[in-house]
Amino acid sequence: MTLLAKDIAMLVSGKLKGDGSREIHSIKGLETAQPGNLSFLVKQKHQEQFESSKASVFVVANDIDYKQSDFQTFIEVDNVMAAVQLISEHFAGQAIPKEATISSLSQLASSVRCGEHVRIDAYTIVQDQVSIGTGTTIGSQVHIGDHVSIGDHCIIYPGVKIYAHAVIGDHVIIHSNAVIGSDGFGFHFDGNRFKKIHHTGNVVIEDFVEIGSNTVIDRAAFDTTIIREGTKLDNLIQVAHNVDIGKHNVIAAQTGISGSVDIGNGCQIGGQVGIAGHLTIADGTEIQAKSGVPSSITEPNQKWYGYPVLKFRDYLRSYALFKKLPKLINELNSLKKEVKNLNQKND
């Protein structure tokens, strides 16, 4: 696919500086870009990489100072990453299969209901009473259990497993080898052995959610595990039974969310965060990577860090002191020695 610089500028409502007829074939980072590529400058601190970049067209923030070379074209915008998102969507849209075909090597129950322009690839199994919405693409070797509902314009990548009774909204993306609706980790010890508590609930995934590869979302014990509108889950995340994740959250890889956690809206959770069970996380919470959350966070729009978590600034102050501990111990021991010597002299 090829786009002209002037068309890109129009797409992102940017101000074009330079040759608008330059052809762009793909987006690359500053250091790897070559002629025919578009790159972007978000912050002034990347000026050195920017000046040596070979990209033909740059998207730049309109408040950044830069020098323009003869062979370069610039598109100035208010928000660089918003512009890059639009451009990437335009390029990626051409790569999504458009042909609506159901492979003869797939296996669909007679009760399956498909909307228009549905694509289902080879070796996918779709069981009884499943509904699949218009424009949805389902890759190969996907398993979809009984009574699953999948909305319009979804992309289910190869190897995804969706257990029975899951409800998936519109414009949902589920990446390879994710598992939706497996049993939660629920057992009762009867004094002799652990006995399984059978999970009869389901999973609901609302519109515009994206779920990364190898992420697992457990079905609720008796009610619903729910991922609400616009939330994005990275790869390798564990979401336990009866969790409720609010709208427009982003959660990074290797995070583990224990059962019955209620996460608000607009939260940002870093990688390898652990959240204990039956907690509430307030709206707008930001949790830094590798933090542990043992109790509820009730104050909205706060940053947290540490294991267990502290407010972000409190953690930074504490860590600054922690780094000084060896020196402080030496000073304390010296003072103790001086006090001891003084006491001996006074005796």
- Show the 3-state SS of the chain: CCEEHHHHHHHCCCEEECCCCCEECEECCCCCCCCCEEEEECCHHHHHHHHHCCCCEEEEECCCCCCCCCCCEEEEECCHHHHHHHHHHHHHCCCCCCCCCECCCCEECCCCEECCCCEECCCCEECCCCEECCCCEECCCCEECCCCEECCCCEECCCCEECCCCEECCCCEECCCCEEEECCCCEEECCCCEEECCCCCEEEECCCCEECCCCEEECCCCCEEEECCCCEECCCCEECCCCEECCCCEECCCCEECCCCEECCCCEECCCCEECCCCEECCCCEECCCCEECCCECCCCCEEECCCCEEHHHHHHHHHHHHCHHHHHHHHHHHHHHHHHHHHHHC
Is 117 one of the annotated active-site residues of the chain?
Answer: no
Which position among 188, 198, 241, 248 bears the catalytic label?
241
Which positions are annotated as active-site residues?
241
